[in-house]
Structure 1
Amino acid sequence: MNGLNRRKTSLPDLYYEGYLEKRSFRDKAALKRWTALSGNTLFFFNSSKDANILDKLELVDFRSVTDDPTRDSNLDKARFNVHLKERSFKFTAPSLEARELWKGYIHAVVELSLPSGIILLPGQTRDLQQAVERERERRRLPPPLPTPPLPAAALPDEGGARSHAAYNGPLPECFVKATRVEAELLLEREAGRGNLLLRPGGHGNTFTITTRGGPYESYIQTLPRDSEAR
C-alpha cells in the first residue's frame, strides 16, 4: 500500500488536500508541506506520497479565514490567513483557485455551512455541501467522554494482558468499535472530552484500552461465556 492510500486509510474524513506553504505570524520562513484537511484538523506531510504526519493544526478555536493581500514573488500564488483564538497562521496556495477552495473547505467543516463571498463552480459548491454533511455526521459519532470506570473484574494490572472472569454486563460508554488508528484520531480530535477509549481487541474475546498521549496500550482478556461451566 503506497503512502497516499495509507494516509487516506488513517484519515478517513479527508475533505481536501494539496500543497501549502505555512508559517505563523512569528515565523520568518515558510515551510512547504502537503496538507490534508481531515475532520476539523489540518495534517502536514513532507510530500503527497508520505504517510508520516509531521505536524497538525486543530481548528477547534477557529475565528476566521481571510485573504492576505500581500503578493508572492510568484504571481500565480495566492495567500490567505487562518485566525485561531490564540494564534494566526499564514498560508500560500499555488493558485487563486486553490486558495478559494482551501478557504471554502476550512469554513465549511468548521462552521458547518457554505461560505459566502467565495466564487466556486457548481460542482465545487456541491462538494463543499457534501463536506458539510459528512462533518455533521462525524461530529455525531464520537461517544461521550470522560467515562465511568471499568468494572473491577475487567481492569488490567500493570503487566498489561491477563486472564479475567467473563464480563457479561453492559459495556461502558467509552467503548467504540474502531481500529487503533481510528481510536487515536478520535482521541486527538476530541481532546477536550477525555483521554481513554475501550475498543475490541485483536485476539478473540479481548478489549484494548487506547489512551491519548500514552506510551503503550493495555489489553484486557475476557473468557468465553461457555468457559464458566468448565
Structure 2
Amino acid sequence: MSTNPRVVHKRRETITALPLYHSGHLLKKLTKEKDFKRFYGELRGATLFLYKDDTQDTYTEKVDLEQLKSMELDSSYKKKEPTIFTLSLSTEELQLKMDNPDTGEVWRGFILTVGKKEIPSKLQLLPGQMMQLKETLNQERKRNPKLCRAPTLPPRPSFLQPSGSGNNSPSPSEEKSAPELPACFFDVTRQEAEKMLKENPENGSIILRPSTLAHNYALTLKQHTPSGPAVKNYRLTSTNSGFVIELETPVTVSSLNDVLKYFLEKTGYHLHPYVVSQPYDTRIEASPAPKCISITSPTPKQVPKAQVAPMIRSKTKEELQPPPEPEDNDYVVPDDGDLKFVNLESELKGVLKLRRQNFYAECGQKEAANYENQTKRKTLSNTMEWTTKNSTM
C-alpha cells in the first residue's frame, strides 16, 4: 500500500526544513554519463532534491543551485519534444531533461529565479505562473538576504600588518567590501587555533581564521580518526567568483558560509563550528516599584536644612517627678493648664455655711418687720380703747 502523498510531503518538509516552490518528474545525468535517470524533483529553497519516486521520504541526490553559473537550452523549443538543459555549477556540470517544452519552461523559470535571485526576462509562461515566480523570489529574498553577493577580500589580521606602515586603518574600499564572517571565525594564528580546539573540545571542532598569505583565509579542524584525534589545516584562496578550497580536486564556493557548509557535509555533520559558550543567569530578581512622579504639577523646590546641632533640653526636678495620684473624694480642676486637687468636703461646708448666714439674715428681717407691725397694731388698738373710755366719761 502506497503512502499518502500528504504524509510524504510533511516528512520531506521536516527533513529539509525548506519551503517548497515547485515539483514534478524529470530526468538527470552528469555530462560524462551516457543515460538519464528518472527522478521526482522538488525545488525547496535554492536546492533541487531528487527522489526515486514521489513516495520516497528521504532524497537520493540534491543539486545546490546557489552554485549555478549558467543554464543553457540544448534542444530547440518545439512542441511535443523533450527539453534538455545543461546546468553549469561551480563544482560540476549536469543535464536535466523534461518530457515536453512547457514543463521545461516552467522548470527553467524556477531554477533561474532561485539560482540567480532574479526572474528571467524572456519566459513563455502564463500570468499565474509569473505570479508564482514573483512570490518565490520574495520568499528567497527574505530567507537569504545576502542574495549571493560577490565575495570580498578578507581583512588583514593585526599580526600580519606590515611593521613599516604607520597607518594600519583599512582604506574606504576595504571597509566597504568587508565580508560577512561566520560565528566560528577568530583572528588567531594556526598554533592558537589548534590550541583552542585541543583545550576546548566542547565548543566545537572547526575554526575559520586568516591565512598567512595576503587576502586569503584558512580553516582548522579537529576530527577523530582510527589512529586518534587529528588536527588539519586547509587553505582558502579568494578569487573573483568566490573562494577555492585547496584540495586534491579544488572546490569553488561563493562565500565563507558555503565553505563551512561544504566541510560539514563532507564530514557527515560529525563536526561542529567552534563557538564560545556564553554564561547564562539562573535567578530572576523582582524590580523595585517605580516612584510616583507628578507630570502636571511642578516639582517643589527642596530647601536645604540648616546644619545646626540639636539642642538638648535638660529636665527639671518637677518634670522628672511623676504627678501625685488623686486622693479619694477629690476631683481635678484645670487652671491655666495645671491640675489642682481640691477637697470636696471642705468646700461643701463653706457653701453650706454661707447659705445658712444668708438664710438667717433673711429670717431676721422678716421677724423684725412682723414685730414692728404688731407693735403698731397694738399701739393703735390701745389708743382707740383709751379714746373710747374718755368719751364715755
Q: TM-score, normalised by structure 2?
A: 0.39
Match of 2:269 in 1: 214
Amino acid at match of 1:225: T
Q: CA deviation at 1:78?
A: 2.0
Match of 1:166 in 2: none
Distance in 2 of aligned mates of 1:15 and 1:91 = 18
Contact 2:23 2:40 in 1 (8 A): yes
Contact 2:8 2:56 in 1 (8 A): yes
Match of 1:110 in 2: 115
Q: Percent identical across equivalent pairs?
A: 22
Match of 1:147 in 2: 184
Distance in 1 of aligned mates of 2:282 and 2:65 = 45
Distance in 2 of aligned mates of 1:55 and 1:153 = 35
Encode CA deviations 1:150-171: one digit per residue, 9 max, x unaligned: 9x999479xxxxxxxxxxxxxx
* Matches for 1:29-178 after TM superposition, within 5 Å: 29-69=35-75, 75-140=80-145, 145-147=182-184, 155=202
Amino acid at match of 2:64: E
Q: CA deviation at 1:134?
A: 0.7
Match of 1:8 in 2: 13
User: SS where residue 12 of structure 2 aligns?
Assistant: helix
* Matching of residue 18 in structure 1 with residue 85 in structure 2: no
* Matches for 1:173-188 after TM superposition, within 5 Å: none
Q: CA deviation at 1:54?
A: 0.7
Distance in 2 of aligned mates of 1:100 and 1:55 = 22
Distance in 1 of aligned mates of 2:261 and 2:97 = 34
Q: CA deviation at 1:213?
A: 2.5
Contact 2:15 2:58 in 1 (8 A): no
Contact 1:20 1:94 in 2 (8 A): yes
Q: CA deviation at 1:17?
A: 1.2
Higher relative contact order structure (alpha carbons within 8 Å, sequence separation ≥ 6): 1
Question: Quick one: structure 1 residues 17 and 212, their matched pair in 2 at CA, closer, same or farther if it must change by over 3 Å?
Answer: farther
Match of 1:178 in 2: none
Aligned residues: 179
Distance in 1 of aligned mates of 2:106 and 2:51 = 19
Match of 1:225 in 2: 282
Structure 1: state its 5+ residue gaps: 158-189, 198-210
RMSD: 3.9
User: SS where residue 60 of structure 1 aligns?
Assistant: helix
Match of 1:191 in 2: 258
**Rg comparison, structure with higher value:** 2
Amino acid at match of 1:191: D
Distance in 2 of aligned mates of 1:144 and 1:9 = 28
Q: CA deviation at 1:95?
A: 2.0
User: SS where residue 53 of structure 1 aligns?
Assistant: coil
Amino acid at match of 2:39: R
Q: Higher helix share goes to which structure? A: 2
Q: TM-score, normalised by structure 1?
A: 0.63
Distance in 1 of aligned mates of 2:111 and 2:185 = 34
Structure 2: state its 5+ residue gaps: 1-5, 147-179, 187-195, 205-256, 285-393
Amino acid at match of 1:121: L
Question: Quick one: structure 1 residues 86 and 193, their matched pair in 2 at CA, closer, same or farther if it must change by over 3 Å?
Answer: closer
